[in-house]
Amino acid sequence: MHTPTLIVVTGRPGSGKTTLAYALARAIRCPALCRDEFKEGLVHTCGGRVTPEDHGRLNGHVYHTFFGAVELLLRDGITLVAEAAFQHKLWVPKLQPLQAIAQMRLIVCAIDPLLAHTRFLQRGVADPEREGYHGRGWIQPHPDDPALTIRPYEPPRLAVPSLIVDTSDGYTPSLERIKAFALQPTAKDRGWSSL
């Protein structure tokens, strides 16, 4: 059996990573596993709403379930896109062992933090139920500004082929170039080279 590819799409909240993950999965014709949908499914199981205190416990459960699903599909030989806003310290312990069973590509959505913040808040206004599913963990008061701001984001750092995509206005590089990057073999798998 051929080795499957795990395409990790990540970035700060509001960076457009979920939209890119689904567009890329459609272009490649593979599943997209998005962490937020796992959380929403779990909240539904809990009756549709949880208290702010419950979000931390549920997030831990979803973290393990998300990576369990990713590993299950990879072990069955299925190439997939995995998307989440996990910080480096949460991505790396789960991604490193998966390098033994999959080729890995890392795509980081890069955007000006203020623009991401604006998109994040607009999404909350457009979908007021979202906070009930996800809490407000990515928003915190800034010590020098009473306005709410998004906290810093540290993407995973792994020795795998990586691509930074500017998501400020569409995709730079283009979706076709991102797809080519995601499907190109690594150096150990027939000569990967940077796009």
Q: Tell me what pLDDT residue 109 has.
A: 95
Q: What is the reported pLDDT for 134?
A: 56
pLDDT in tens, 38-70: 988 988 888 776 777 777 788 889 999 999 999
pLDDT at 138: 45
State pTM to two decimals.
0.83
Ordered by start, the domain boundaries in the chain are: 5-189
Average pLDDT over residues 141-164: 75
Contact by Cβ (8 Å): 35, 85: yes
Domain 5-189 matching CATH 3.40.50.620: the answer reads no
Judged against a pLDDT cut of 80, whether residue 89 lies above it is answered with yes
